[in-house]
Amino acid sequence: MSTNERWFPGHLKELSEAECLEQLGEHHVGRVAYCDQDGPVVIPVNYVVEGRSVLLRLSPHATLASHLRSADASFQIDEFDDYTQSGWSVLLRGHATYVDVADHPAAADLIPWAEGQRSLLVRIAAREITGRRLLPA
């Protein structure tokens, strides 16, 4: 048996939307995905949850901001443990738009880790939220 094989496969469990939202609410860094002229792009960002949406603070001059003006996007978070070969992931698919900070009180809790001016607030409103958990065998 190679070191990549397991004696027993892990158990895959679908997460409910409520479980997905709970995971989203407990973390602060995720990945936003969109397509540009060269294909798919995935960028790590800080976020906060607001209802069934995630809010991102971006520089209005960032490439990411230009692609999220009014576009379909996805947002993903995950956590894995190599030792137990277990983990979970949550995927939010939706539509991104620029929004006014004054209309979104949750944005007050959104503090990007990276330096620089991030005055643009982007909301990715969910059309679909799915998740899975891989439990150890």
Distance CA 24, CA 30 (A): 9
pLDDT band at 84 (very low <50, low <70, confident <90, very high): confident
Give per-residue pLDDT as tens, 25-77: 999 999 999 998 999 999 999 999 999 999 999 999 999 999 999 999 999 99
Assigned architecture for domain 11-135: Roll (2.30)
Q: Of residues 125 and 135, which shows the higher confidence score?
A: 125
Q: Is 21 left (phi over 0), alpha (psi -120 to 50) or beta?
A: alpha
The answer to whether 45 touches 56, Cβ cutoff 8 Å, is yes
What predicted TM-score, i.e. pTM, was given to this entire model? 0.88
What's the CA dihedral at 55, 51, 35, 86 to 10 degrees? 100
* Domain map (residue ranges) of the chain: 11-135
Nearest to 91 by CA among 133, 56, 135: 133
What's the CA dihedral at 65, 70, 73, 77 to 10 degrees? 60
